[in-house]
Structure 1
């Protein structure tokens, strides 16, 4: 059994029960306890599991879901910017672009502001603000279609049946989607049921769907699945994603690993 497959089964066992002992995992996988401990060490470093005495548990929530949008934009900023730069390479002037809520989509919006003649379809208030009237007369003009809905998420996205109905008659060249988690079994997930419904409708508008996620989203699982990993066209993550995770994902979806720029020295 390959290490990647073995670790995936460990994660599945822990998530199924909420916790698992090293001895039980070793028996289930027919490997030594030392091997299981090493795997748990790796998974804990990746943030996929929490290592505890004698075994592992599902991760504690390290980022509250109600943290305000401005605070979330500062988390893993270099990684999000790397993903945004890579995603922007897919965009050409004149395209219609769908952008979901979330801070990585917002980071992409800031890059796209420099591309001319775009039409932006979004349910995100912060994204819409990025494309407000240009501060300078020489900035490219962008047409923005802002969807409305009945529920406002912690990331200031508007979701619900009104947004879904509006999306049914729209058509985008590219759709970029932020997610709460990326997992081969749970798929692409979010913590908001209405947001999942709205994001599915947004994906359906696009000729090509692209998910944006920094490496911390690997192994994270939100409340509900948006779509399975193999239902999207491309996944862009930063190059801090572990090699075994990249290998697993690349078997299911076209994967791009964006290089993270080192911070400039003082």
Structure 2
């Protein structure tokens, strides 16, 4: 049974991901999963209906069948799959060379990566994430010796604390980075890498164009989720890091399409 202290926005984000993966779910199943009342779940579903992401049916809800333009905030997403995100971050940081220039997109998984980059010497980190910038700045203020040099792109913030828009894109296009570590809203065989935010999709394209190598960190819940805008095909990914809760069929698709597939144990 899930933690009953989840905020409503966090619980709704998790409910939405479940419905997208399964296509439909019953209220009774959600009550058991989250350990909250029937009325609480119905209020959550009403909120998702207002956002246009699900449709209520007798006894439950179904996916709308349309590409999602719903973008949960950073805090809502941060409580989801925490242990697995940590495992993905551990795998990603092993690809980072001391003294290199690393770009990090915005997101909760890349935030976990950023916390581990504090141990890698002589890095320069380029990011459009306000949360990652705050993390690195705070570490520098504490007097740590291995804090990376930080370049924040500028731009206008989204709900997920990503800086996007013309200013961000112009800055990124002027840069050359060794490694991009990229988080995603959704991944599918047909749509590739997607996000619900059109401006963020454009900024992610700029990040990919600036990098010699692109690494995607995405847990199994991202598979089959399709956001409003695609920003890269699977073939553009040099390394895809995910967890072993991803179905075998999806692993097969990724293994054929990306340069390298890395699968880590999911958190228990």
TM-score category (smaller protein): 0.7 to 0.9
What is the CA-CA distance between 1:126 and the residue it aligns to?
0.3
Q: Computing the radius of gyration over CA atoms, which structure comes out larger, 1 or 2? A: 1
CA distance in 2, matches of 1:59, 1:91: 40
Counterpart residue number, 1:78: 83
Q: Which runs of 5+ in 2 are unaligned?
A: 1-17, 27-56
What is the CA-CA distance between 1:203 and the residue it aligns to?
0.7
Equivalences for 1:100-115 in 2 at 5 Å? 100-115=105-120
The answer as to whether partners of 2:243 and 2:266 remain within 8 angstroms in 1 is: yes
What is the CA-CA distance between 1:123 and the residue it aligns to?
0.5
* Runs of 4+, deviation exceeding 2 Å: 48-53, 56-61, 63-68, 133-139
Counterpart residue number, 2:24: 50
| TM-score for the superposition, normalised by structure 2 | 0.74
Which of residues 221, 226, 241 in structure 2 aligns to 1:221?
226
The answer as to whether partners of 2:19 and 2:25 remain within 8 angstroms in 1 is: no
What is the CA-CA distance between 1:137 and the residue it aligns to?
3.5
Give deviations 1:25-51, integer Å, cap 9, x for gaps.
xxxxxxxxxxxxxxxxxxx89925337
Which of residues 250, 255, 261 in structure 2 aligns to 1:255?
261
Task: Please state if 1:147 is matched with 2:153.
Answer: yes
The answer as to whether partners of 1:88 and 1:112 remain within 8 angstroms in 2 is: yes
Which of residues 124, 127, 140 in structure 2 aligns to 1:134?
140
Counterpart residue number, 2:198: 193
Give deviations 1:85-107, integer Å, cap 9, x for gaps.
11011011101000001111111
Counterpart residue number, 1:123: 128
Equivalences, count? 215
| TM-score for the superposition, normalised by structure 1 | 0.74
Tell me how large the CA RMSD over aligned residues is. 2.6
Which secondary structure does the structure 2 equivalent of 1:47 belong to? helix
Which of residues 230, 243, 247 in structure 2 aligns to 1:242?
247
The answer as to whether partners of 2:109 and 2:218 remain within 8 angstroms in 1 is: yes
Distance 1:49 1:59, change over 3 A: farther
CA distance in 2, matches of 1:59, 1:257: 31
The answer as to whether partners of 1:180 and 1:220 remain within 8 angstroms in 2 is: yes
CA distance in 2, matches of 1:184, 1:72: 23
